[in-house]
Structure 1
């Protein structure tokens, strides 16, 4: 049930009657509370038990109520005090009906139609409610509580005194609540300031890393590219295969420089805006394989056509047509990029750990996923041979596959090594 926005005055009343009762926040307790919590809780329980027993005796002695009626009325007077610390709205909802039920058989010699423990409990619950609830909710609670006071009090002067008492409690509670809100706002602002300082420290560290990478790595890559480009002119007797290899080295170095500049731009940027430069995909894997061949590797590429509903199992790729004509939209950009990077890293690992070995790259694009497989035979250096350093190539490939919701395996096979990844098109980042 919703209250129209035009009835803003009624909304606190609805919240008081049937709204959610929020538990206290962790910051409202004083610092000494953890140390004295257990003794105070034990003392509070003993106090509630004593008040309940006193209320039962009072109702039996002063009003001659039977025990079956005195015990529920006594519990209804003291139970809200225990509930108010955690659920003040619920405590008021328990306490308020008893203001009408608690006037049963009151003695004419009593100053109030409610017994003393009920008066104490009502004031305690209202005080907690004034501290914890909004001003509108507390005001409605005070107004409704005053109704039975004027209905059952012996003299109007008693009602006027209660109005003054409730007004004082309401003002003090509201001021205390606003002060606590201001303190929490200051704490939150201090936390935001600390987070901003930490963010700036991260940005400064990223800038320092970018500067170091530019001064060291980018410089050496530039030197490699320049030396590879000028070597054919400095060495006139180079055969044509050697010239082609130097050209491939220069091209790889230039491509590495391009990727390095893109990485440095991300490290220096304060915003996490997406890159606008085109990213490689499945269509670029053939060029990647060709570059590996020019670098001296023996690489074959087996790229199966995507399955289509129009083409039968015996039709060739030329008969099936390109993906646009067959209704297959191809993999998402993130999947194509992941497949490219996995093939790139697998070829680099094969060249580093098994030089001279034949490498086979297999791509199996399907309707819902693509399978990427890179395997090398055992004609090169053994896979388990010691290498310089411990890279993170396999870890990076596995992370790329898992980010897309796919699978990744890498293990020795037949004396060589096989890397295989299955990348679904509807993965976590595949549809972006």
Structure 2
């Protein structure tokens, strides 16, 4: 079996370069991806060995010796490591080091430039990167300093041509930077347009849902109210018990109709405030119990402690979850006794609704009601457990105390 050495080498390289990459990312002005920085470090190492191997072509190593060339190659190649993060300071360092090395080290008689070719190429790249990432004024300063270096180190007949060439490199960098920034602005504007389009689609869908709710729910609930209130006049032989039951149905339908109107207002507009009518909460749990019993549910109730201390949002969530749990118990297990336990103390409110149908009384799959209860509990900062128990299907809700310390 042949072993692949590249993954271990890659992991070792990552372990060695990640600390330096973190420093480069933290110190840079423009963000760069980690793989880009790792590639730059690899190129920097390659440039270091090229600068060290070709040092004798520029400097007289017979006089200066080979040992200092390790440091000289490091000074030459190191600025390239900052081409993505700090190109202009790296360019200034490279220009200054080229000037100092040309003055300090003895030159080889056959050398074309007073500095290494690798250092000249690094200067070109850093000048281009400065034009891409910096302003035109900063690029002009970088061009003047680089042109001064070439003007000092080259024969008189070559100075003008190199100044024009360096200007062309800077100009290409400036145009490239403007093109990249224009594309980024266009991409950002496209993303904003897509967000606005999605927002408009959501608002249109909410308006459509509001119309559907108005046409379906509100219309039928209004008919229920009218029929319940006019039944005693249309059917004179109705007894007193049935008359009271019809009045109760009328009151429940009116309450549901008022809540439907509030929901329609929220769906029709964005950032709409609730109506002046108070929202239901755990303080109205007694009304919910009475309504449930009038619907024919055998309900065993045990309420202890203070349930009125929760803030409005959490109290509303607790009321809605209790309402949904009781409705599910009446819908999925009609005629089955239901037990409701509610307890409030300084730590919060604990609510339990159990449909006493015995083991195996859970629905096959969670419906929208169960999903809605879980979402309400999470949104209110509480926790909920829904599922079968030995006694039947249970909903256990815990709403914690508010931040102000109230129950």
For the 8 Å contact 1:245–1:296, the answer to whether it is kept is no
Counterpart Cα distance in 2 of 1:386 and 1:167: 76
Counterpart Cα distance in 1 of 2:66 and 2:353: 86
Deviation at 1:336, TM superposition (A): 0.6
When residues 155 and 273 of structure 1 are mapped into structure 2, their CA distance, relative to the original with a 3 A threshold, is farther
For the 8 Å contact 2:49–2:73, the answer to whether it is kept is no
| Aligned counterpart, 1:397 | 373
For the 8 Å contact 1:63–1:105, the answer to whether it is kept is no
Matches within 5 A, 1:5-404: 20-24=28-32, 48=47, 51-52=50-51, 55-59=54-58, 64-81=63-80, 83-84=82-83, 88-89=87-88, 91-92=90-91, 95-103=94-102, 104-107=104-107, 112-142=113-143, 145=146, 153=153, 165-269=165-269, 271-277=270-276, 278-306=278-306, 330-378=309-357, 384=361, 391-404=367-380
Counterpart Cα distance in 1 of 2:100 and 2:62: 14
* TM-score of the superposed pair, with normalisation by structure 2: 0.75
For the 8 Å contact 1:378–1:414, the answer to whether it is kept is no
When residues 391 and 70 of structure 1 are mapped into structure 2, their CA distance, relative to the original with a 3 A threshold, is closer
| Aligned counterpart, 1:3 | none
For the 8 Å contact 1:302–1:362, the answer to whether it is kept is yes
When residues 107 and 398 of structure 1 are mapped into structure 2, their CA distance, relative to the original with a 3 A threshold, is closer
Deviation at 1:106, TM superposition (A): 4.0
For the 8 Å contact 1:60–1:66, the answer to whether it is kept is no
More displaced 10-residue stretch of structure 1: 405-414 or 238-247: 405-414
Q: Deviations over 1:322-368 (max 9, x none)?
A: x9xxxxx9211111111111111122122223334443433222223
Counterpart Cα distance in 2 of 1:386 and 1:410: 11
Counterpart Cα distance in 1 of 2:204 and 2:238: 48
Equivalent residue pairs, number: 373
Aligned-residue CA RMSD in angstroms?
4.0
| Aligned counterpart, 2:9 | none
For the 8 Å contact 1:21–1:89, the answer to whether it is kept is no
Deviation at 1:85, TM superposition (A): 5.0
Unaligned runs of 5+ in 2: 1-25
For the 8 Å contact 1:350–1:376, the answer to whether it is kept is yes
Counterpart Cα distance in 2 of 1:386 and 1:76: 74
For the 8 Å contact 1:369–1:423, the answer to whether it is kept is yes
For the 8 Å contact 2:58–2:107, the answer to whether it is kept is no
* TM-score of the superposed pair, with normalisation by structure 1: 0.71
Unaligned runs of 5+ in 1: 1-17, 30-39, 307-322, 324-328
Deviation at 1:423, TM superposition (A): 0.7
Structure with the higher fraction of residues in helix conformation? 2
